[in-house]
Amino acid sequence: KAGVTQTPRYLIKTRGQQVTLSCSPISGHRSVSWYQQTPGQGLQFLFEYFSETQRNKGNFPGRFSGRQFSNSRSEMNVSTLELGDSALYLCASSLGVVPDTQYFGPGTRLTVL
């Protein structure tokens, strides 16, 4: 099976812009989770989608949003970018049922100038 893919791999934006990142899960996986990794805060949970519904959401402002399509592909959007949004954004897919082994994508490295 193909692994989790994320596009784009690298992205440079300026403050105030918005960005959309994409994640294609492993075939058959219905859950996609998004994580943010920064040098200061480490890895933090953003949100999880399961069968096109947001199942849970971390403590991030409303500028961070996402969605999931019927084929389980997911997008996350960050509006009104701030310098502090510069990070590695990782998505992980899983079957979505306990036990929940997650398979991570390579990440999208976002730089906000």
Partner 1 sequence: KNEVEQSPQNLTAQEGEFITINCSYSVGISALHWLQQHPGGGIVSLFMLSSGKKKHGRLIATINIQEKHSSLHITASHPRDSAVYICAVRPPEARYNTDKLIFGTGTRLQVFP
CB of 16 to partner 1, least distance (A): 26
Question: Where does this chain touch partner 1 (CB under 8 A) — which range of 17-25, 64-72, 77-85, 93-101?
Answer: 93-101
Distance (Å, rounded) from C-alpha 92 to C-alpha 85? 19
| Contact pick of 5, 45, 65, 75 for partner 1 (by CB under 8 A) | 45
Residues at the interface with partner 1 (CB under 8 A)? 33, 35, 37, 42-45, 48, 56-59, 88, 90, 92, 98-107, 109
